Structure 1
Amino acid sequence: MEWEKTFTLPPDGTRGNLMRVTIAIGLVFALIHVFLPSNAYLKNLFSSNKVFIDSLPRSHSLSSTRFSDGLRKCRNRYIFPQKIDPEHRQENPRYHIYTNDTSTLGTNFSFVIKNATVLDGDGILRDGPADVYIDKGMIYGVVDSGSKISQFLMESVKPHDIIDAKGKYVTPGLVEMHSHVGICTQPELRGVNDMFELMNPTTQFIKTLDAFNIGDPAIKLISYGGVTSSLVLPSANLISGEGFVFKMLVPPSRSVEEMLLQYDSNDVSPNLSVNRQRWMKMACGENPKKRFVANPSAPKSRMGLGFLFRSTMEKAQHLKEEQDLWCDAIEQGLTPKTPSFPENSEYDLLVELLRGKVRTNSHCYETFDIETLFRHAREFGFNITAVHHALDAYKIPEIIKRQPGNVSIVTFATEWGFKKEAFQGSVFSPKILNDNNITIALHTDHPANGGQDLIIQAQIAHSFGLPADKAFSAISGTAAKILGLDDRIGYLRKGYDADLVLWDRHPLQAGSSPLKVYIDGVSVLNVPIPDENKDDDLISLPGSLEDITTDKKALRCLEGSQEFVVKGIKQSFLKSLPSGASNITKEMVVKGGEVLCFQQDCSEFYSAIHSNCMKIITLKDGYVVPAGTALTTTHGITEMPSELSTGDGDVMDFVNNNILDDFSDPEKVVAAKNGLHLESKHLKWAHNSGVLKIITPPLRNEGKKFLTGISTAFRSDATDLNGIIKENVAIHFTIGDLGKQILLPTVSLQIQTLRKLLLENKGKANAYGDAFRGELPIALHTNSKDVILQLIKLKNELKTPYFIIVGGVEAHLVGKQLAENGIPVVLEPWRCQRKYWDERRCLTGLHGTPTAITALKKAGVKFAIAVDEDKLVRLLYQEATIAKARSDITSYEALKAISYDVEDIFKINDFINSLDFLVTEGHPLTYGSQIVAIVENGTLTDVYPDLEPEFEVSPTY
């Protein structure tokens, strides 16, 4: 073929004569390149133009194939992803994934959801009921119910199914901005964990598409939570690599590429299309600094990371310059330095970043790390699209706003405190950022938090002050905009992908769950729609926490008083002071550690009150609530588990010849009472959130350990050891995979050893002997149903020990046996995500299934609620709120599960002979309720407490 011949260059003597012709043709080429950038046109032009071909320099031969390929790549430098016009879209390009498959061939994907309450991706509620029409994998129209246009659409679309929403909320599918689903498959097994690439701290060349596992069960679970699209990013590295947005629906073909949101069957490969949006991941701070400790040549400091970043970007910058010089030479009719367009797959993504064609997602927490990232971006001339995690971002809004490119913050509503760079996190961060006009989105970082709980991030953010429209948009429309995909997802509008969710209540209400989920118009979840809401309040928007006004602060003069009056109480949940809900409010008079009066009118007791602060707490919607009691992992033992210097230390660090100390010696059993570190930030924040009593075992960090030690119970506001409630609460063992260690590599040996320890010490005055006789409860941390069966058998054999199952996320499978043997369960956590093998059968409470709480209650098992991460202790009442909403329990049962039942199960109730309770404005199990008063030992210790009291590492006196 003519086009396949090799270009030959003219004799040297003719070059001067042809220079003017070369320049002229080069100018013509440039004009054509701008106005008619068609590869076919250029091919014909250069094939037929003998003068130009013959005028090329003779330094080397350039094949027509290489030339054509180079021209295409030169042109592609200026091609950016183009937004579509949804109004004129005819069908979803992913539609044929389903219609062309034999398993779905003939299925009619047109339907209408009628009488819906529509909440769009901008967080704005549509006035009046609406009908949502779906056809060809896209939204065909959202119109007023009963309108003429709805009648017209009914006739033109001819929907195969008509679904009556019965007034329920319909929203766009939720958009997850930061996930590792598919590359960190659940349950987590080494064979399918591809989240980390540790060959080098800079791995910009890796792609999550190459590792995405369609067999990850979390994909379906995440979709059941209403999440229809997830940006899947690589993890941890300084420059981590390329991410992709996947739809959370495995197609009939089981093709990974067909799960890509930007999949188009007309493309040769969605991975190669120059028109697709691209995303990359970077990381700052602790992750890239610590991840490569074993690599001698990898940076160990932020300074080293800064150098490596610059060095890598300089190489990408050099490659970009070589490409531009090559293209310039071709366009000017000059000799390119190389026969082919300069390329290097190692730096391709970074070159595209420098050209402004890649959206960055940068994992950074600390203020100075964020500022360093911005400095790098300005130095090399690329934009920062979004800073992820960013728990410190609320402290530097002006620095963020000064950075070019309208930087967005993608953050959490619940994370804080587990390591230094998270230590300054605040639940008010989303509100503060929004108040400073900074665009925010919310994410889960699945599996760090279950991807199915993305909606909970929005709920918590709203409950702490983020406006409702911004909170919902942060997981829908705003997230789609940050991804550059707001022309397809994140909204319920004509021409958008048919990704939508029908909810059982307002999505920002606690415990909201999808009833129906559609992705590209394909049904993913189909739960029957109830005729009515259980509670009309669930229809409305939940409240947000109100600011503490000057008038409220004035009541703080009551702090320290043992004599006070509270008015406007609707209900008491105290077991010593029960009352049913009533429209008639009551008053409470407290004096000398006792309640003198609790009735409609307590005026006759007012004269008994003598206080220097003659003020009365008057409420509009008051409740009296039991104070929280939390089983924690590190409270009072260690501030930051990743920084062992901040507390007692970790038993895992004490080894002899790489073998843990001999636990068979009862004298070596560690007791948490000896390692308490009081007045910590975690304890202060827990206390001011209503969690007044703490049970904590010795620290068990990430290592595997059979014996943890003996827990202790103490008050969260204790300043000295007088705050200890009970020194020795329970002895804690781990049975299962996390209990495996060098001396005990199997579960069977763990149980055998536990039996031996108890039997050999049954008559002795030591921890194991006390445990055998039932004098010291045995807390058995395990999740596996099969392990629990073995422990029930052991209990029957030994008879006298008192077993407590902690964890127990599969306990519902053996509920009858647990109840028969009187073994209680402390669910830690009750809200599971099937993260590990031992919890793969847990109940999530989604897709119409019960929760573990519902199942255990039905089986007659005594249970309590705990959290498995200390960041959530301060949110214990929010956890109870969600538990009540998703489970078949009453408000009193939910509150008991985080207070009285914990105390009873761990047998510390007899050591608490005092009047402890909270007073709240608003029902304690609704978002937006506020703690008005904390009462301990009959003393009013706190009035309108700051939920995040100031804490200085080095306080100044």
Structure 2
Amino acid sequence: MQWKALALAGFLYLLWCTGSPLANVSRPPHAASIEAKCRALKLQAGPPEDFHDRRTRPHLIQNAKLWTGGNNGTEVVNGDVLIDKGLIMDIYGSELVVIDAKGAWITPGIVDIHSHLGNAASPELEGALDDNSPKGTIQPWLRSLDGLNTHDDAYSLSSIAGGVTAALTGGQAFAIKLRKTQERSSMSMVLEAPYQTNSSFSDPILPPRWRHMNSTRLDIVYAFREAYDTARKIKEKQDDYCSKTLANDWEGLGDFPENLQWEALVDVLRGRVKVNISCYESVDFDGIVRLSNEFKFPISAFHHASEAFLVPDLIKKTYGPTPAIALFATNARYKREAYRGSEFAPRILAEHGVTVLMKSDHPVMKSPYLLLYEAQQASFYAMDSLRTWRWIASITSNSASVMGMAHRIGYIKEGKSCLISHLIIWDSHPLALGATPKQVFNDGVPQLLHAHVVEKPETFQQTPPVPNFDKEAQAALVVFVNVQSVFAPSAAGVNQVFSAADAGALGAVLVKKGRITCVGVCRMDISDTKVIDLEGGSISPGLVSFGSPLGLEYIAAEDSTNDSPIHDRLTEKGVPDMIGGDGAMIRAADGLLFQTRDALLAYRAGVTSVIVAPTSQSALGGLGVSFSLGAAHRLQRGAVLHEVTGVHMAVRQSSGPSVSTQIALLRRLLLRPKVTNGEIPLVSEAHSADPIASLLLLKKEVEHAKGQTIQMTITGAAEAHLLAQELGEADVGVILNPARSFPYRWADRRVLAGPPLTEHTPISVLVAHNVTVGVGVLEVWDARNTRFDIAWASLSAGRKMSKAQVFALASTNLMQLLTGKLHIDREQGDMVATKGGDLLDFGTNVVAVVSPARGLVDIL
């Protein structure tokens, strides 16, 4: 080995220097340590010698489908795997625990290449946020380890529920394992702690371990150049110093030149640091590529990288090997730099030979399932079912390799090259929507004492098909043929009005000017009719989105592109008298923005309408509006569906006005007849069970005082399951937002995680108590994924809900909860057509929107 040869040479040299009569140059007392330090500068990073020294109970997993990560991510082996001493072995051990995988898929543990786990701990508390520092632009001396919170609830949720076993965190970053250790310290969570963690230089006998650094987006290129130039000068002084010491020339040398503040950046120039750089636009890449060539250091990966797919050839000009690109699948447009992000970026980059990684950027993507979900979405938009395994590689083997940890994690190997056993046994194909771990091994230690796993059809064990996204045109007279099923809104919610299984054959659906005129067996003259073959597909209600400011913003971080928040009546000077003073009810309809990019993407994914309230941080929000995502402007036919939906309010636990103050405001307003007369619902955001209970009592109090029933809906509702019985008895509906619970804040900490951690989900508990339930989204980019959210809800609930009930979660239920209407009018509500399956099937895409309100069919 390289380091052994260097160590031996150094030892012999030291003997010669100290014992030979020729060594008559005056040597300082610390000469030996300085010479060892200088030789260590030439060692390359690699795995430690004690890598295989592990002690855990052995486990034999039999009868599995193993995705190994080998053969460029295409190798799949049917067989067994033995875990012993924390390693993947090829021999048997004592006290063997045998697990019959029953043909289940096994992959390496998921590796999150970009995370703030531990530094932005959950639930979010101001005193526990250590993910960013406002002190300066370039701060390579700041280490994520020094702020790593061992009490982060996201460790167990992400690792056990989502299969994430390792993550790269922070600025001067550290690769950590996501499990409780016996020592329970931050340091014990580090996969391979660099020797510089607590001293400026490594042990001179051992090869250095990889260090990591994650730089933020460019503010000014000069700040980077100045920092790297400072590091370059220190490196040159060290090299000059060492060349003299190793020549036994000590005269006038003084102390070894080092600087604790810049030593990490010096190691970057020595090629010992995996550099990960967050940047978005083409101009950012251009500046960093020039920087890497000027100071001759490689870059491991560009992160976020919204425009990387536009400039793959520029990326390849980076000094050294081509960097990987770490992306979100669909999260984009949240600021100007991310506006040009595309769901097709992973596929385009892969086609150009660039290694693609999917990331969570936790806590940006907070749900424990979202890293796997990112890979699933990348596969969905890749339109390449034959190479879908590369998306599993994007969160396992590729990420491990880019981190320099492929000798430990990210693959399944045996023998001398055996790896630390970070493995997941899945309940279905890992790219199938709703895939859930049945067991997670971290360092060979099983993490689940008991997994609540939902039985799924055999088809979920197969590689999921992916749709095609060819755009067509618009038509007024359309017939859909080879239709498997039709679901339509009714007074009861959503009903299945046609089933090929019941009819004995695939059917047809005739549409004239946006209205369905025939379902099943239809007589028609198709000479002047657009015929669309759904190939066993389905027609179902258009989905409704709620919870994000979709329709009120283009780019979240750009105020000039959005409708500004309304006045907070408790903390700001009141609403001007000229518009009604504090009693004024602001209407979202007046600030609508049509044809935003996120609206278009949601529309193409089957979300045809939105209910949105005025943007507000106040207890009293305003009046919501329902509008069509297919409309070009507010004056177009069918653009605004309901001018006023409900009165929106919020009760939040925050550093502002107390919950009791907010409830007092709502009590005063509700007792005034102008606020609500029971015809439209009161929609109140509340997360914790405590303010939800106060709202239920307030509803009862106001109903008694006014002598009439109030329609009330609770949104957010992270802890609503704790009051499921009381909500059902009070006839109060719930919109879960987000659809999959996570302890974002302290008020959310008592979430019901669902499988594999808990048997039940919030939806299943609430529905069991006769609560009308809808699902929402938090951010505008996520509206397009509503179909996946309700499909996941169905799978997590054990597929005990009918498809009609599942469709209702994001259609008729939302309309009822937010507008007070009992159903979507079939004569007005949009319908969507999908090819090859229904809207809940992962491998289908929306091919048309039937819009009676606009009198047309949009062929997508």
Structure 1 length-normalised TM: 0.82
Structure 2 equivalent of residue 148 of structure 1 = none
State the distance in 1 between where 2:571 and 2:833 align.
54
1:121–1:197 distance in 2 versus 1, CA, 3 Å: same
Question: Secondary structure, in 3 states, of the residue corresponding to 2:475?
Answer: coil
Which among 284, 293, 311 is matched to residue 396 of structure 1?
Answer: 311
State the distance in 2 between where 1:936 and 1:161 align.
58
1:717 aligns with 2:717: no
- Post-superposition shift, 1:264? 10
1:215–1:269 distance in 2 versus 1, CA, 3 Å: farther
Q: What amino acid is the match of 2:396?
A: S
- Post-superposition shift, 1:869? 1.2
Structure 1 equivalent of residue 737 of structure 2 = 828
Question: Secondary structure, in 3 states, of the residue corresponding to 1:129?
Answer: strand
Q: What amino acid is the match of 2:176?
A: F
- Post-superposition shift, 1:41? 3.8
Structure 1 equivalent of residue 360 of structure 2 = 444
1:794 aligns with 2:707: no
Structure 2 equivalent of residue 872 of structure 1 = 782
Structure 1 equivalent of residue 97 of structure 2 = 161
Write out per-residue CA displacement over residues 283-327 of structure 1, whole angstroms, 9 at most, x where no aligned residue. Answer: 114xxxxxxxxxxxxxxxx4xx21211111111111111101111
Structure 2 equivalent of residue 955 of structure 1 = none
1:754–1:866 distance in 2 versus 1, CA, 3 Å: same
Write out per-residue CA displacement over residues 320-355 of structure 1, whole angstroms, 9 at most, x where no aligned residue. Answer: 111011111212333465422111011101101011
State the distance in 1 between where 2:855 and 2:200 align.
64
Structure 1 equivalent of residue 80 of structure 2 = 131
Contact 2:514 2:850 in 1 (8 A): no
Structure 1 equivalent of residue 680 of structure 2 = 776
1:668 aligns with 2:594: no
Structure 1 equivalent of residue 327 of structure 2 = 411
State the distance in 1 between where 2:50 and 2:519 align.
67
Q: What amino acid is the match of 1:579?
A: F
Structure 2 equivalent of residue 953 of structure 1 = none
- Post-superposition shift, 1:69? 2.5
Q: What amino acid is the match of 1:536?
A: E
Q: How does 1:488-567 map to 2 (within 5 A)?
A: 488-494=408-414, 495-527=418-450, 533-548=455-470, 553=472, 556=473, 559-561=474-476, 563-567=477-481
Write out per-residue CA displacement over residues 152-211 of structure 1, whole angstroms, 9 at most, x where no aligned residue. Answer: x4xx42452111111111111111101111111111112221111222222101111111
State the distance in 2 between where 1:536 and 1:363 align.
41
- Post-superposition shift, 1:468? 1.2
State the distance in 1 between where 2:200 and 2:407 align.
18
Q: What amino acid is the match of 2:137?
A: P
Contact 2:487 2:497 in 1 (8 A): yes
Which among 696, 718, 723 is matched to residue 814 of structure 1?
Answer: 723
Structure 2 equivalent of residue 568 of structure 1 = 482
State the distance in 1 between where 2:58 and 2:695 align.
53
State the distance in 2 between where 1:158 and 1:940 align.
72
1:261–1:475 distance in 2 versus 1, CA, 3 Å: same
1:750 aligns with 2:662: yes
1:615–1:357 distance in 2 versus 1, CA, 3 Å: same
Structure 1 equivalent of residue 554 of structure 2 = 639
1:595 aligns with 2:516: yes
Contact 2:513 2:857 in 1 (8 A): no
Structure 2 equivalent of residue 63 of structure 1 = 28
Q: How does 1:848-863 map to 2 (within 5 A)?
A: 848-849=757-758, 850-863=760-773
1:250 aligns with 2:180: yes
Q: What amino acid is the match of 1:254?
A: R
Contact 1:445 1:451 in 2 (8 A): no
- Kindly report the root-mean-square deviation, in angstroms, between the aligned alpha carbons of the 2 structures: 2.8
- Post-superposition shift, 1:843? 1.7
Structure 2 length-normalised TM: 0.90
- Post-superposition shift, 1:574? 1.5
State the distance in 2 between where 1:802 and 1:91 align.
63
Q: How does 1:307-318 map to 2 (within 5 A)?
A: 307-318=222-233
State the distance in 2 between where 1:825 and 1:529 align.
25
Question: Secondary structure, in 3 states, of the residue corresponding to 1:812?
Answer: helix
Q: What amino acid is the match of 1:421?
A: E
1:673–1:339 distance in 2 versus 1, CA, 3 Å: same
Contact 1:416 1:423 in 2 (8 A): yes
State the distance in 1 between where 2:199 and 2:231 align.
25
1:624–1:125 distance in 2 versus 1, CA, 3 Å: same
Structure 1 equivalent of residue 493 of structure 2 = none
1:578 aligns with 2:497: yes
Structure 2 equivalent of residue 348 of structure 1 = 263
State the distance in 2 between where 1:380 and 1:313 align.
7
Write out per-residue CA displacement over residues 846-897 of structure 1, whole angstroms, 9 at most, x where no aligned residue. Answer: 3241221111111211010111111100111122222222224332222111
State the distance in 2 between where 1:400 and 1:74 align.
34
1:188 aligns with 2:111: no
State the distance in 2 between where 1:877 and 1:337 align.
72
Structure 1 equivalent of residue 300 of structure 2 = 385
Question: Secondary structure, in 3 states, of the residue corresponding to 1:462?
Answer: helix
Structure 2 equivalent of residue 426 of structure 1 = 342
1:656–1:573 distance in 2 versus 1, CA, 3 Å: closer
- Post-superposition shift, 1:271? 9.4
1:907 aligns with 2:827: no
State the distance in 2 between where 1:217 and 1:677 align.
38
1:35–1:69 distance in 2 versus 1, CA, 3 Å: closer
Which among 360, 368, 373 is matched to residue 288 of structure 2?
Answer: 373
Where relative contact order (Cα < 8 A, 6+ residues apart) is larger, the structure is 2
State the distance in 2 between where 1:526 and 1:584 align.
47
Which among 477, 484, 487 is matched to residue 397 of structure 2?
Answer: 477
State the distance in 2 between where 1:648 and 1:477 align.
44
1:112–1:68 distance in 2 versus 1, CA, 3 Å: same
Which among 380, 383, 392 is matched to residue 463 of structure 1?
Answer: 380
Contact 2:145 2:186 in 1 (8 A): yes
Question: Secondary structure, in 3 states, of the residue corresponding to 1:525?
Answer: coil
Question: Secondary structure, in 3 states, of the residue corresponding to 2:559?
Answer: strand
1:707 aligns with 2:707: no
Question: Secondary structure, in 3 states, of the residue corresponding to 1:261?
Answer: coil
State the distance in 1 between where 2:652 and 2:253 align.
61
Q: What amino acid is the match of 2:734?
A: V
Which among 197, 204, 217 is matched to residue 133 of structure 2?
Answer: 197
Which among 708, 713, 722 is matched to residue 804 of structure 1?
Answer: 713
State the distance in 2 between where 1:161 and 1:269 align.
42
Structure 1 equivalent of residue 216 of structure 2 = 283
Q: What amino acid is the match of 2:328?
A: F
State the distance in 2 between where 1:657 and 1:829 align.
27
- Post-superposition shift, 1:420? 0.7
Q: Which runs of 5+ in 1 are unaligned?
A: 1-30, 57-61, 97-107, 142-152, 235-240, 286-301, 946-957
Structure 2 equivalent of residue 891 of structure 1 = 803
Structure 2 equivalent of residue 838 of structure 1 = 747
Question: Secondary structure, in 3 states, of the residue corresponding to 1:574?
Answer: strand
State the distance in 1 between where 2:514 and 2:367 align.
46
Q: Tell me the number of residue pairs that the alignment of Structure 1 and Structure 2 aligns.
A: 824
Q: How does 1:40-51 map to 2 (within 5 A)?
A: 40-49=11-20, 51=22
- Post-superposition shift, 1:670? 2.1
Q: What amino acid is the match of 1:206?
A: L
Contact 2:174 2:193 in 1 (8 A): no
State the distance in 2 between where 1:510 and 1:163 align.
25
Write out per-residue CA displacement over residues 770-806 of structure 1, whole angstroms, 9 at most, x where no aligned residue. Answer: x2x2133211111101111111111111123221101
State the distance in 1 between where 2:147 and 2:852 align.
57
- Post-superposition shift, 1:650? 2.3
1:868–1:905 distance in 2 versus 1, CA, 3 Å: same
Moved over 6 A (4+): 31-34, 267-271, 654-657
Which among 612, 621, 624 is matched to residue 539 of structure 2?
Answer: 624
Contact 1:175 1:475 in 2 (8 A): yes
1:72 aligns with 2:2: no
Structure 1 equivalent of residue 45 of structure 2 = 81
